[in-house]
A and B are shown apart, each in its own frame.
Chain A
Amino acid sequence: MQTKMNELRKEMKLTQQELADIVEVTRQTIISLEQGRYNPSLELAHRIKKALKRKYIEEVFILE
């Protein structure tokens, strides 16, 4: 799964820790997600999408 989390987070001027606090996960999880090492659950993907102010999950995560 590809992700645009990194660029969208920077666009929102959020740090990894700030995003982690919003979606209630650890910073390490945000790092893993941004590096594409971990695929989020549907619930977490929704939370991230909401935190990054996007309408669809596909704007953040792209299934290859």
Chain B
Amino acid sequence: MTVSTKVYTRNKMKMKYAFGTAIILIGILFLLFGIGGNEFAGFPSLGFWILFVGFIYMAIVTITVVSNREKIVDERMEHIGYRASRLTTLVLILFLFAVMIIDGIYTINVRYYLFSSGLICLYILTYLISYKMIERKR
């Protein structure tokens, strides 16, 4: 077991670029074949939305490469990350349980993509907050 790992290696960057390219290609294919032609998340079609996500992803990866950031992840950070993940999972379960109860009282009519994106945002936000909270104690 190594104590530390350099996160942004060349191979990982290549993988990230390949993943971004794949997203963009999927977006182009969706546009070409007219899959999901209706309005989606404020975009004219699903293909445009996937393209947008792909370009945003590529921009983030490029910024990381250009800034040449080398980050050390040591065992303490891994430990904090593990605890933050556990806390986040608990919060998500409680949130979903609350949603089930509320849906039982008042029927919630939300589109799946809105609910899913909200859930992803909640996960990221809860993870960041719990990570910072645990980091202060540890």
User: Do A and B come together as binding partners?
Assistant: yes
Check A25–B137 contact: CB distance below 8 A: no
Across chains A and B, the number of contacting residue pairs, with CB separation under 8 Å, is: 38
Q: Which of A28, A37, A41 contacts B75 (CB 8 A)?
A: A41
B93 at the interface (CB under 8 A from A): no
Cα of A32 to Cα of B76 in the assembled complex, Å: 9
Count A interface residues, CB 8 Å. Answer: 14
Residues of chain B at interface, number, CB under 8 A: 12
* Contact mask for chain B residues 69-98; partner A; CB cutoff 8 A; 1 contact, 0 none: 000101111010000000000000000000
- Supply 23 A–B pairs (Cβ within 8 Å), ascending by A: A23-B3, A24-B3, A24-B4, A24-B72, A25-B3, A25-B72, A25-B74, A26-B76, A26-B77, A28-B76, A29-B74, A29-B75, A29-B77, A32-B76, A37-B138, A40-B75, A41-B1, A41-B3, A41-B75, A43-B1, A43-B3, A43-B75, A47-B3
Contact status B75-A24, CB under 8 Å: no
Give the interface of B toward A (CB within 8 A): 1, 3-4, 72, 74-77, 79, 135, 137-138
Residue from B1, B3, B76 in contact with A38 in the complex, judged by beta carbons closer than 8 Å: B76
How many angstroms from the CA of A57 to the CA of B3 in the assembled complex? Answer: 17
Give the distance to chain A from B50, nearest Cβ to Cβ, in Å.
Answer: 37
Q: For residue A24, which residues in chain B have a CB less than 8 angstroms away from its CB?
A: 3-4, 72, 74
